[in-house]
Amino acid sequence: MADLDLTELHGALTDRALNSMNFLNEVAQHYPNAISLAAGRPAEQFYAVEDLHSYLDTFCDYLRDELGYDEAAVRRTIFQYGRTKGIVHQLVARNLLADEDITVDPEALVVTVGCQEAMVLALRALRATPADVLLAVSPAYVGITGAARLLDLAVLPVAGGNGGVDFDDLVAVIKTARADGLRPRACYVMPDFANPSGLSLDLDTRQRLLDVAAEQDLLLLEDNPYGLFPAEGIERLPTLKALDTERRVIYLGSFAKTALPGARVGYVVADQVVAHPDGTTSLLADELSKIKSMLTVNTSAIGQAMIGGKLLQHDCSLVAANERERATYAENLRALTEGLAARFPGGEVSWNVPSGGFFLVVTVPFVVDDALLAKSAQEYGVLWTPMSHFYDGDTPIHALRLSCSSVTPAEIEPALDRLAALIRDQL
Amino acid sequence: MADLDLTELHGALTDRALNSMNFLNEVAQHYPNAISLAAGRPAEQFYAVEDLHSYLDTFCDYLRDELGYDEAAVRRTIFQYGRTKGIVHQLVARNLLADEDITVDPEALVVTVGCQEAMVLALRALRATPADVLLAVSPAYVGITGAARLLDLAVLPVAGGNGGVDFDDLVAVIKTARADGLRPRACYVMPDFANPSGLSLDLDTRQRLLDVAAEQDLLLLEDNPYGLFPAEGIERLPTLKALDTERRVIYLGSFAKTALPGARVGYVVADQVVAHPDGTTSLLADELSKIKSMLTVNTSAIGQAMIGGKLLQHDCSLVAANERERATYAENLRALTEGLAARFPGGEVSWNVPSGGFFLVVTVPFVVDDALLAKSAQEYGVLWTPMSHFYDGDTPIHALRLSCSSVTPAEIEPALDRLAALIRDQL
C-alpha cells in the first residue's frame, strides 16, 4: 500500500531534467560491460589515497604557518561548524588570479558543495517571483535546468548557433519575454568547451556577449568546469569574468575536474553590490551565504582542506597540476575525432571538432532517443548520451554526445567500431 | 553604485529566519571575549587531526575487506562522483539498529550534506503547491523555518505546552488550515532534548503523536541531533521512528554532534512508498535522491569516509563512542541548573531542568530582545540566545536560551555571575 502519491509531490520529480540523470545512470548500471563514451567524470588513473593524507597535512600546516593558528584553532577549523562562505576563500582567490587572471576580493566568494550548489544559490536569489525567468544557451547542461526546476524557475532557451551564442535570438528571447510580462534575470552560458556541445566562444563573441548583457541589463552566469583542458596547441581564452568590468558576470567555479569530485567543493564569485532599502549595501556573496546557511550550513571543512591542500601544493595554480590530465583528454579527443573520420568518410554522419574539453557532438540522419541508447548498450556494447537530454521539449533530436574523459585510448577504437556498427545499421 | 536591489531578490533574504543566524554570529564576533552560553556547537576538546587520517584508512579497509573492492574501486569510491544516496548507507543502517533499535533498508536512506540538506530535501518534495504548509512544534529550530522560507513554504506553529506537544492545538491548527484550503503535509518535531526548549516528549506523548498523525493523515518530520546525550541517570526513550509502524515518520539524522560537524554528513530515513501514475511505486528516498542530484549531486565521499571510519571503529555504535562527550554535557547542564538555583532563589526568574541535551530556557519578567543581547555582550561579557529567534512573529518573548555544549565548567560560574548581574539590573 502506498503512503504518498507522486502527483502530490513537487512537480520537478516528474520532470525530464531530474529523471534524465537517473535514466542515464541506470542504463550504465544495467550494461556494465558496455564501453562508456557517456560518462563525463574526470580521468581517475592519477588519483592516490595517500594524496588525501598529504593534502590534509598541508592545509593544517597552512593554518599554522601562514594564518598563525594554534593547535586548538586548527582542530576547530577542520572539525567544527565553520564560516558559511568557506575557509579556502583566500586560496581560491589566489587560484583565480594565477590561472584565470581574475582579481577577486575573497569576501566576494562563497565556497559551495560543488558547482551545483553554486547554481542553486544564484538561481534562488534571482528567482523572486513567478515572473522571473532564466535564459540558457541551448543545448544546456542538465544540471542548470534541474536546479531551475527545483525552484519553479522557467528556463528560456537561447539558440547557440555556430558561434556558441545566436545574438539575434538572445535579444529576441529577452524582448518577447519582457513583452509577456516576464523578467529575464540572467543568461547561463559555458563559454569554454561546453557541456554538451563542445563549443567555445571566440574572443569577439565573449566581448559581444558582455556588451549585449549590459545593453539588456542582464546578468551572465558563467560556468567553467573545463577551461583548463584545451586541446594540443590551443591557446586558452579569457573567461567572461576576466573581461567583466561591470560586475555583470556571476562566475560558477568547480574543482571536480581540476582537483577531485569526491571533495564536493566548488564556488561562486558574486561581487555584485546589492542595495538595501535602508540605504546600506552588501555583496551578493553575502546574500548567497544566507541562502547557503539554510541549504547546507557550510561546505565540509574536510572537503575544503583537501582542495586547499592540493592548491597549496601547486602554488595555487591548477594549470600545471593538470598537465597529465590535459594531455590525456587532448589525446582522447583526437582519437575520437580521427576515429570518426576514419569510419565515416561519407558525409551523412558529421561531428564537431572541439578545441578542448570532454565532449563532442555527432549528428546523424535519424532520431536519437533513449530507446536507441538502450539498444546500443544491449546489442552493441557502447554507451553515449542522446542530445535530447540537453533540450527542453519533445522536438526529435538527431545527435548524440560522446565523452572522451574517462576512457582509455585502447577503449576508444572498439567503442567507435561499435558505434559505427549501430549507426550503419540505422542508416 | 549598486548592481542589484535586495527587494528584487528572493523574499527569504529579508526574512528574520535567515538573518537571525547572521545577527547571532556577528554579535559573537564583535565580542570575542564574552563567554558564550549561546553557541550550540559540540565540545571540541576530544577532536584530534590524527583521527581523520585513521578514519580514512579504516573506511578504505572496509571497502577492500568487507565490500571486496580492488584498489581502483577504492580510489574511485573516494575520489569520484558517487552514488547520489551515499556510500555509507549500510553503516548508517547498522548504526540506527545499534543505537536506536530502528531497522531500516539501506536503500531507504539518503546520506545528505548535514541534517540541513535532509530538511530541504523533505520540504522540497512535500511542497508541491502554495496550499501546502508545514506544521512545527513551537518554539522551533531556526533551520527548519529557514529551509521552509527558501521554498516559499508557510510554517504554522503548534503550541508545545508543558508536555512538548499541545495536542488540542495541533488538531485545531490542522482543522483551521484545512478549512482555509491549505494542505498540512507534515509536522516537524524534535522529541529528544529539543533545540531550543530542552524539552523531551515522554513515551505516552510519543505514542499519542503517532496516533494523532495517523488520524489526521499527517507525516512527522523527526529531528534527532541530541538523542545520545541524556543527563546523568536518565534512560533514553525510543524515537518516534522506532515506534513508527505505519511509515508515518521521516527521520532526519545528524552526525554533527555524535561524530564531527566538519564532515557535513547527515541523512534522512524516507521509507515511505510513493505511488506513480503508471502503477509502479518507489521509495520516497529515491524521490529525495532526484532532488539531491540537482542540489549537491552527492555528499562528499571524503566527508562520508570520515563518518564511515568513525562508525567502523566503534562497531557502528555512537553511544559508547560519546561517553566522554555525554558526561561533559551532563556535568555542564547540572552546573548551569545548580548555578541558576544558587543565584535566583526568589522565583521571579525560572528555568526548566532538561533531562539531557545542550539547551535550557530561562524565563524572566522582562522582554528579551536583540538589543538586550548586544548590551549583555558589551557591558556584561556574556552571550546567550534570545528565544524570540525561535518564534515567528513579533510577540515579545520573556525568555532566553542557554547552551551548555561548548563551555567549560570553569567558564560557567563567571558566565552565570555576569548573566545574574544583567538580569538583576533589568529587574
Q: Where do we find the cell 523574499? A: B11
Cell numbers for B226:
541530541
B29 CB burial (10 A radius; 0-12, 13-18, 19+): exposed
Q: Do A10 and B149 touch (CB under 8 A)?
A: no
A278 phi, psi to nearest 5 deg: -85, 10
Across the interface, of A3, A75, A263, the residue whose CB is closest to B247 is: A3
Instruction: Tell me if B295 sits within 8 A of A24, measured CB to CB.
Output: no
Render B289-308 in DSSP notation, one character per residue.
HHHHHHHTSS--HHHHHHHH
Instruction: Using DSSP bridges, classify how beta strands B350-351 and A35-36 pair: parallel, antiparallel or unpaired.
Output: unpaired
For residue A177, which amino acid is it? A
Q: How close A389 gets to chain B, by Cα (Å)? A: 15
C-alpha cell at A171: 535579444
The pLDDT > 90 percentage for chain B reads 93
Among B250, B160, B238, B242, which residue's Cα sits nearest to residue B199?
B160
Q: Which of A150, A262, A296 sits opposite B113 (nearest CB)?
A: A296
Tell me if A296 and B56 make a contact (CB, 8 A cut-off): no
Nearest CB to B262: which of A79, A143, A149?
Answer: A79
Mean pLDDT computed over every residue of chain A: 96
pLDDT at residue A2, rounded to an integer: 82
Residues from chain B contacting residue A82 (CB–CB below 8 Å):
262
Distance CA A304, CA B225 (A): 24
Task: Return the C-alpha cell found at B172.
Answer: 485545531
Residues of A in contact with B275 (CB under 8 A): 2, 4-6
Which fold would CATH assign to domain B71-320?
Aspartate Aminotransferase; domain 2 (3.40.640)
User: Which fold is adopted by the domain A15-40+322-426?
Assistant: Aspartate Aminotransferase, domain 1 (3.90.1150)
Cell of B210: 503517532
By Cβ distance, the residue of A75, A262, A294 closest to B18 is A294
Neighbours of B325 (CB within 10 A): 19
Angle between helices B284-295 and A142-150 in degrees, nearest 10: 120
Q: Could you tell me the three cell numbers for A35?
A: 564501453
Mutate to test the interface with A, among B141, B257, B300 (most CBs of A within 10 A): B300
Q: Are the Cβ atoms of B56 and A60 closer than 8 angstroms? A: no
Averaged pLDDT for residues B101-128: 98
* Cell 549500510, residue located: B90
Contact flag A302-B262 (C-beta cutoff 8 Å): yes
Determine contact, residues B161/B169, Cβ cutoff 8 Å: yes
- List of chain A residues whose C-beta atoms are within 8 Å of the C-beta of residue B79: 44, 47, 260-262
Q: Testing the interface with B: which of A85, A271, A272, A297 to mutate, by most B Cβ within 10 A? A: A297
Contacts of B143 in chain A (CB under 8 A): 294, 297
Put simply, the answer to whether B74 touches A272 (Cβ < 8 Å) is no
Topology of the domain covering A71-317: Aspartate Aminotransferase; domain 2 (3.40.640)
Q: How many pairs of residues across A and B have Cβ atoms under 8 Å apart?
A: 266
Q: How far apart are CA A106 and CA A271, in angstroms?
A: 10
The residue ranges of every structural domain in chain B are: 12-40+322-426, 71-320
Question: pTM score > 0.80 for this model?
Answer: yes
CA torsion sign for A418, A420, A421, A422 is positive
Options 3.90.1150.10, 3.20.20.70, 3.20.20.10, 3.30.420.40; CATH for B12-40+322-426 is 3.90.1150.10
Identify the pLDDT of residue A1.
63
CB A301 within 8 A of CB A77: yes
Residue B1 has pLDDT above 80, yes or no: no
The confidence band for B2, taking pLDDT boundaries of 50, 70 and 90, is confident
DSSP state of B39: -
The answer to whether A181 touches A216, Cβ cutoff 8 Å, is: no
Determine the angle formed by the axes of helices B323-343 and B409-426, rounding to 10 degrees: 30
Residue B426 has pLDDT above 70, yes or no: yes
What's the pLDDT score for residue B162?
81
Q: Cβ of A116 and B12 within 8 Å?
A: no
State residue A27's pLDDT score: 85
What's A372-402 look like in SS3?
HHHHHHHHHCEECEEHHHHCCCCCCCCEEEE
* Residues lower than pLDDT 50 in chain A: none
Tell me the longest C-alpha to C-alpha distance in chain B.
Answer: 69
Buried/exposed B80-94: b ≥16 CB within 10 Å, e otherwise: bbbebbbbbbbbbbb
Phi, psi for residue A382 in degrees, rounded to 5 = -140, 135
Give CA–CA dist A180/A166, Å, rounded.
21
Question: Quick one: closest CA in A to B40, which residue?
Answer: A81
CA A394 to chain centroid, in Å, comes to: 24
Closest-CA distance of chain B to residue A114, Å: 6
Peptide bond into A196 cis (omega under 30): yes
Q: Could you give the C-alpha distances from A343 to A10, A36, A358, in angstroms and in order?
A: 46, 19, 21
Do A52 and B8 count as a contact with CB atoms less than 8 A apart?
Answer: no
Residues of B within 8 A of A292 (CB-CB) are none
Which residue, among B426, B422, B404, has the nearest Cα to B38 in the 3D structure? Answer: B404
The answer, yes or no, to whether ipTM is higher than 0.90 is: yes
Q: Which of A277, A282, A303 sits opposite B300 (nearest CB)?
A: A303
Cα end-to-end span (Å), chain B: 47
Q: Which residue of B47, B79, B147 is in closest CB contact with A294? A: B147
Nearest residue on chain B to A145, alpha-carbon basis: B294
pLDDT (0 to 100) of residue B393: 81
CA quadruple B415, B417, B422, B426: dihedral positive or negative?
positive
**A375-426 confidence digits (pLDDT tens):** 999 999 999 999 999 998 889 999 999 999 999 989 999 999 999 999 999 9
